[in-house]
């Protein structure tokens, strides 16, 4: 050990002995810091949301009723289910949830149809092309999401690029902005890299000899694709599809910038409930309901992702 | 194979056109003389002059860069510890919870994360008086939290691929775990820490929804200012800003890719 290193190691030893004295090992400390942070700022907040979803709106600071009150020396717990009753019975919320799932689902299908051939082409490309193509997929991900949605709006707008092009061929204007179609395009455009990357990971490690074997046995290319490639890449498809579907359900930016007043997605409704109507408990109940809806696809994704990772090893 | 030989390249090309055409048109029209942005009427750098004079955009950009740098640094420390815990310590109490707490933020809808953190900050303030109000501090905490999840994933995959025999050799030679980490593990995973930091920095710089929930008066981040401008329609100075950001990012990613492509060659030689 060099003198500097010994010098540097000395305080580490002292700290370690001091921590050991209070029952913390170095190992415990490594786990403790991220554990404490993520529990306090990620898990506990979700419980707080659940708690406040059981309160009612109130004027004052903070603008919701207390769950625990003391009256004559006894602590009373008051829970209101009214927010959930409204969320499940009010047409505005019900249709917002349904259309969020529908819009996210349709967009995911488009992402699969566009992304699968792209991922497959990249996986099949010659080595020196593959890294460049992958970089081209990742590059938009590093530029601002907000600015990309803005760029797309300039493209779809009434006097936008596409309509100018159509005008040159004498075709009349298409109304694309402020429609559900624009929202589909926006979601596919923003989340396509998330679909392509996991699918590429599972496609690139497919053994080419499987294709050869299938071809030797007389399969046509599309038969090989349907009976060999597609089933083997399913974990990648599911993991990628969920990476599009889950964030798309709660999307706020895309429906606000590209959708019309009729595009009522739940992220937007929750935003308005919080910022415009300052109904924090109602917004919380919407958040809890949204969370329950996305838990199933999250579990699906986790399983698929494990399958992708295990396949690599 | 004749069928596929044209099908794949064609669809892939169309896909890339779809990904890049809107960005390219944004860049081109940032040099437009017409304020309508999408109708070309001659070359001009007026939008860049407007951007330079827009104090609100400039100060929001500076604030966002500071927030992103601090949040990314916190996230790299926490994310690395988290990745070490999850990859190196096979079994410990709370492992499942930690695993869930760092993978869920990756897919959690922003509106939930933002609302949840805001409600936590409000509840904490009334219970223990901290954090004092909402502003830069609460945005930094919020960003560091979701960025930790991303850094964990990046470092985790690097640690998973790492050959453990180097660490074992150092241990056999009598180095303590802390020294092994700083002398052996850290230098090897350093590239992952750099890309994790850059990823966290980018994500923080880009976040609109979470920051909107947890920010307070006087702490408008860049995405918040951009959003309020483009909500009303086209904004040439935003085009100019976007062009600058896209240029910087493209330079960075291309440089990183070239470096990455070179490394294996050097190793083989």
Q: Which CATH class is domain A82-312?
A: mainly alpha
Say if B38 falls within a structural domain: no
Among the ranges given (A190-199, A207-216, B60-69), the one the predictor scored with the smallest mean pLDDT: A207-216
Residue A139 confidence class, pLDDT cut points 50, 70, 90:
confident
Listed ranges A16-25, A131-140, A246-255, B249-258; the one with the highest mean pLDDT: A246-255
Q: Is the dihedral of CA B150, B154, B156, B157 positive or negative?
A: positive
Among the ranges given (A58-67, A101-110, B99-108, B226-235), the one the predictor scored with the smallest mean pLDDT: A58-67
Q: Is the CB of residue A169 less than 8 Å from the CB of residue A163?
A: no
pLDDT single digits (tens) A141-160? 888 899 999 999 888 887 77
Nearest CB neighbour to B110, from listed A132, A159, A252: A252
**CA B63 to chain CA centroid, nearest Å:** 16
**In chain A, what residues touch B77 (CB-CB under 8 Å)?**
33
pLDDT for the residue B218: 83
CATH of residue B91: 1.10.3720.10
Choose the mutation target among B1, B12, B13, B207 for the interface with A, i.e. most A CBs under 10 Å: B12
Q: Say what angle helices B236-268 and A127-142 make with each other, to 10 degrees.
A: 150
Question: What is the arithmetic mean of pLDDT over A34-47?
Answer: 94
pLDDT for the residue B254: 83
Say if B109 falls within a structural domain: yes
CA–CA min distance B132, chain A (Å): 14
Choose the mutation target among B24, B68, B115, B175 for the interface with A, i.e. most A CBs under 10 Å: B115
- On whether any CB of chain B is under 8 Å from the CB of A250, the answer is yes
Among the ranges given (A31-45, A53-67, A255-269, B7-21), the one the predictor scored with the smallest mean pLDDT: A53-67
Q: Do B110 and A283 touch (CB under 8 A)?
A: no
pLDDT for the residue B267: 41
**In chain B, what residues touch A247 (CB-CB under 8 Å)?**
107, 109-110
Find, among B50, B151, B183, B203, the residue nearest to A142 by Cα: B203
CA–CA min distance A33, chain B (Å): 7
Say if B119 falls within a structural domain: yes
Instruction: Indicate the domain borders of chain A.
Output: 1-52, 82-312
| Mean pLDDT score across all residues of chain A | 86
Question: How far apart, in whole angstroms, are the C-alpha atoms of residue A178 and residue B114?
Answer: 26
Say if B210 falls within a structural domain: yes
Q: Do A136 and B98 touch (CB under 8 A)?
A: no
| pLDDT at residue B266 greater than cutoff 50 | no
Question: How far apart, in whole angstroms, are the C-alpha atoms of residue B58 and residue A48?
Answer: 36
Q: What 3-state DSSP class applies to A67?
A: coil
pLDDT for the residue B2: 43
Listed ranges A156-165, B35-44, B63-72; the one with the highest mean pLDDT: B63-72
Nearest CB neighbour to B107, from listed A139, A142, A246: A246
Size of interface A-B (CB pairs under 8 A): 252
Find, among B89, B137, B23, B205, the residue nearest to A155 by Cα: B23
- On whether any CB of chain B is under 8 Å from the CB of A301, the answer is yes
**For chain A, percent of residues with pLDDT exceeding 70:** 91
Question: How far apart, in whole angstroms, are the C-alpha atoms of residue A308 and residue A236?
Answer: 6
- On whether any CB of chain B is under 8 Å from the CB of A55, the answer is no
Q: Do B38 and A39 touch (CB under 8 A)?
A: no
Q: Do B223 and A146 touch (CB under 8 A)?
A: yes
Question: How far apart, in whole angstroms, are the C-alpha atoms of residue B77 and residue B144?
Answer: 10
**CA A83 to chain CA centroid, nearest Å:** 26
pLDDT for the residue B268: 41
Domain containing B160: what range? 54-236
Question: How far apart, in whole angstroms, are the C-alpha atoms of residue B43 and residue B39?
Answer: 12
| pLDDT at residue B154 greater than cutoff 70 | yes
pLDDT single digits (tens) B1-11? 444 578 888 88
pLDDT for the residue B110: 93
**CB < 8 Å from B in window 187-216 of A:** 189, 192-193
Residue A251 confidence class, pLDDT cut points 50, 70, 90:
very high
Question: What is the arithmetic mean of pLDDT over A118-123?
Answer: 93
CA–CA min distance A43, chain B (Å): 7
| pLDDT at residue A265 greater than cutoff 70 | yes
CA–CA min distance A16, chain B (Å): 10
Question: What is the arithmetic mean of pLDDT over A16-26?
Answer: 66
- Higher-pLDDT residue of B179 and B137 is B137
| pLDDT at residue A4 greater than cutoff 80 | no
Find, among B105, B134, B108, the residue nearest to B121 by Cα: B134
Question: How far apart, in whole angstroms, are the C-alpha atoms of residue B224 and residue B61?
Answer: 10
**CB < 8 Å from A in window 70-99 of B:** 77-79, 81-82, 84-85, 89, 92, 94, 97-98
Query: Rg of chain A's alpha carbons, rounded to an integer?
Result: 26
Listed ranges A9-13, A274-278, B173-177; the one with the highest mean pLDDT: A274-278
pLDDT for the residue A7: 56
**CB < 8 Å from B in window 81-100 of A:** none
Say if B269 falls within a structural domain: no
Q: How many contiguous H segments (helices) and E segments (strands) does chain B have?
A: 12, 0
Say if B58 falls within a structural domain: yes
Listed ranges A100-114, A139-153, B42-56; the one with the highest mean pLDDT: A100-114
pLDDT for the residue A59: 80
CA–CA min distance A143, chain B (Å): 6
Residue A23 confidence class, pLDDT cut points 50, 70, 90:
low
Say if B28 falls within a structural domain: no
pLDDT single digits (tens) B177-227? 888 888 888 998 998 999 899 999 999 999 999 999 999 888 999 999 999
**In chain B, what residues touch A38 (CB-CB under 8 Å)?**
78, 82, 98, 101-102, 145, 148
Burial class (CB in 10 A: 0-12, 13-18, 19+), A268: buried
| pLDDT at residue A5 greater than cutoff 90 | no
Question: What is the arithmetic mean of pLDDT over A4-33?
Answer: 68
Question: What is the arithmetic mean of pLDDT over A23-39?
Answer: 83
How many domains is chain B built from?
Answer: 1
Question: How far apart, in whole angstroms, are the C-alpha atoms of residue B227 and residue A150?
Answer: 9
For A268, which residue in chain B has the nearest alpha carbon?
B111
């Amino acid at each position: 050990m060099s003198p500097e290193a010994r010098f540097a190691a000395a305080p580490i030893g002292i700290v370690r002995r001091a921590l050991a004295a209070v029952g913390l090992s170095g190992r415990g400390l490594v786990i403790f810091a991220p554990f404490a942070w993520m529990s306090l700022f990620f898990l506990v907040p979700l419980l707080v949301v659940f708690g406040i979803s059981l309160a009612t709106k109130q004027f004052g600071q903070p603008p919701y009723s207390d769950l625990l009150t003391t009256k004559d020396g006894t602590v009373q717990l008051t829970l209101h289910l009214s927010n959930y009753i409204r969320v499940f019975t009010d047409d505005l919320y019900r249709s917002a949830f349904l259309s969020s799932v529908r819009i996210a689902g349709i967009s995911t299908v488009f992402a699969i149809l566009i992304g699968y051939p792209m991922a497959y082409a990249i996986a099949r490309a010659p080595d020196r092309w593959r890294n460049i193509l992958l970089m081209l997929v990742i590059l938009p991900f590093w530029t601002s999401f907000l600015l990309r949605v803005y760029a797309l709006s300039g493209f779809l707008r009434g006097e936008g690029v596409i309509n100018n092009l159509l005008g040159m061929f004498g075709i009349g204007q298409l109304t694309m902005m402020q429609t559900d179609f624009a929202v589909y395009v926006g979601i596919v455009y923003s989340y396509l890299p998330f679909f392509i990357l996991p699918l590429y990971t599972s496609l690139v490690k497919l053994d080419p000899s499987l294709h050869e074997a299938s071809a030797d046995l007389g399969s046509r290319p599309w038969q090989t694709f349907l009976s060999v490639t597609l089933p083997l890449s399913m974990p990648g498809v599911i993991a990628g599809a969920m990476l599009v579907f889950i964030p798309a359900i709660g999307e706020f930016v895309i429906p606000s910038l590209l959708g019309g007043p009729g595009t009522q997605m739940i992220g937007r409704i929750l935003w308005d409930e919080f910022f415009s109507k300052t109904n924090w408990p109602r917004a919380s109940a919407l958040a809890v309901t949204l969370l329950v809806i996305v838990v199933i696809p999250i579990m699906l994704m986790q399983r698929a992702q494990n399958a992708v990772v295990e396949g690599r090893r | 194979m004749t069928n596929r030989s044209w099908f794949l390249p064609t669809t892939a090309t169309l896909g890339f056109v779809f990904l890049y055409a809107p960005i390219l048109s944004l860049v081109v029209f940032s040099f437009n003389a017409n304020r309508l942005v999408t109708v070309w009427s001659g070359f001009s750098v007026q939008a860049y002059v407007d951007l330079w004079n827009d104090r609100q955009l400039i100060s929001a950009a500076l604030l966002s860069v500071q927030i992103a740098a601090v949040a990314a640094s916190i996230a790299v420390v926490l994310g690395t510890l988290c990745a070490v815990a999850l990859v190196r310590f096979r079994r410990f109490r709370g492992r499942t919870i930690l695993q869930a707490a760092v993978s869920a933020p990756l897919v959690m809808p922003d509106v939930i994360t933002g609302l949840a953190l805001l409600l936590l900050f409000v509840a904490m303030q009334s219970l223990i008086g901290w954090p004092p109000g909402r502003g830069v501090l609460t945005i930094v905490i919020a960003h560091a939290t979701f960025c930790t999840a991303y850094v964990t994933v990046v470092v985790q995959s690097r640690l998973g691929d790492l050959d453990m025999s180097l660490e074992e050799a150092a241990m056999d030679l009598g180095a303590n775990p802390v020294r092994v980490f700083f002398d052996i593990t850290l230098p090897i995973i350093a590239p992952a820490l750099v890309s994790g930091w850059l990823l966290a920095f980018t994500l923080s710089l880009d976040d609109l929804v979470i920051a909107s929930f947890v920010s307070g008066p006087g702490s408008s981040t860049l995405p918040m200012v951009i959003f309020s401008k483009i909500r009303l329609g086209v904004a040439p100075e935003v085009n100019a800003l976007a062009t600058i950001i896209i240029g910087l990012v493209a330079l960075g990613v291309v440089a990183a890719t070239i470096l990455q492509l070179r490394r294996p060659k050097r190793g083989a030689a």
